[in-house]
Amino acid sequence: MLDLIIIGAGPAGITAAIYAARKKMNFVIISRDVGGQTAWSGGVENYTGYQFIPGIELVAKFEEHMKTFAVPLHEGESVQELMRQRDMFVVRTDKTEYQARTVIVASGKQSRELGVPGEKEFRNKGLTYCATCDGPLFANKDVAVIGGGNSALDAALQLMRIARRVYLINIAAELTGDSAIAEKLKNASNVAIYNNARITSVNGAQMVAGITVQKAALVDFLPVQGVFVEIGLIPSAEFIRDVRKNEYGEIMVNCKSETDVPGLFAAGDVTDVPAKQIIVAAGEGAKAALSAFHYVAIHSF
């Protein structure tokens, strides 16, 4: 019987693990990977102490810090179900089962899909959800970025330095992401912005060869070799049902990172905390771990 299970190893989960280790809690951290969305970021300019650091390097710093405490990380495991049974929690993964007195859900978010013909067929065959991970594979090629928010603008900014041409397909009338980045893209010679447009299919044979785009009554075919889907994220909380969530599927928490289930805490982008930032997620992870420690300390089991 563990004191704590932490689900997720992004900024929130890693910070929670460091605090739990410092409190000498008996715990494990379970995650498919390490870093979460931070690993996808091309550059981070707003994390205190770093004027600029690539996302993957910041993740390495987090992981290095975690390893100094010999944190028991179970990487490569996917949580299938989280249930409360009497005075404990049961976490079932694709590999085994765990029991603990408390749980912190810090599972973050996952990419939203387009839902158009060709998306599933060409996934990892020219279609991807991570410009930071896969952008270098498309050097001197024509690519399309789907979306108009911050994630899409960040992807387009990275790709315009790598690809030959970048098409930015935005369903809204104007780009909704950071205005400074939007201005850079508008002034870039190799970026074409399609507002009020939507992708209707991904086309090709063995690999992506183009996309079909509709803008009002006009339908256009853009010959591209890469498609980067950046239309937002959805909370990775499908494995837990008996907890209060908002209309977006985010787990609702109070200022102590408590959910409406005693002993169950949540932190980071999986929650309804409004600011989805790396530094906010890390702070929420620290709060969740301290709250979990307090819960274990005051309850007799």
Q: Quick one: pLDDT at residue 232?
A: 86
Note whether 2-111+233-298 and 127-229 share their fold: yes
- The domain made up of 2-111+233-298 has a fold known as FAD/NAD(P)-binding domain (3.50.50)
**Domain-wise residue ranges, the chain:** 2-111+233-298, 127-229
Average pLDDT of adjacent 10-residue blocks, the chain of 301 residues: 97 98 97 90 84 91 94 96 94 97 96 94 92 88 96 94 97 93 96 97 96 94 96 93 95 98 97 92 98 93 63
> In angstroms, what CA-CA distances link 139 with 11, 114, 154, 165, 300?
30, 24, 17, 10, 59
Q: Quick one: pLDDT at residue 301?
A: 63
Catalytic site residue from 130, 142, 178, 272: 130
Which residue, among 84, 92, 26, has the nearest Cα to 239 in the 3D structure? 92
Between CA 233 and CA 132 the distance in angstroms is 16
Active site residue 255: no
Catalytic site residue from 33, 87, 133, 260: 133
Catalytic site residue from 3, 134, 154, 269: 134
Q: Quick one: pLDDT at residue 170?
A: 97
Q: Quick one: pLDDT at residue 37?
A: 85
> In angstroms, what CA-CA distances link 28 with 20, 71, 76?
10, 7, 13
Reported pTM: 0.80
Q: What angle do CA 239, 242, 245 make, to 5 degrees?
A: 85
Q: The dihedral of CA 66, 70, 72, 75: what is its sign?
A: positive
Architecture of domain 127-229: 3-Layer(bba) Sandwich (3.50)
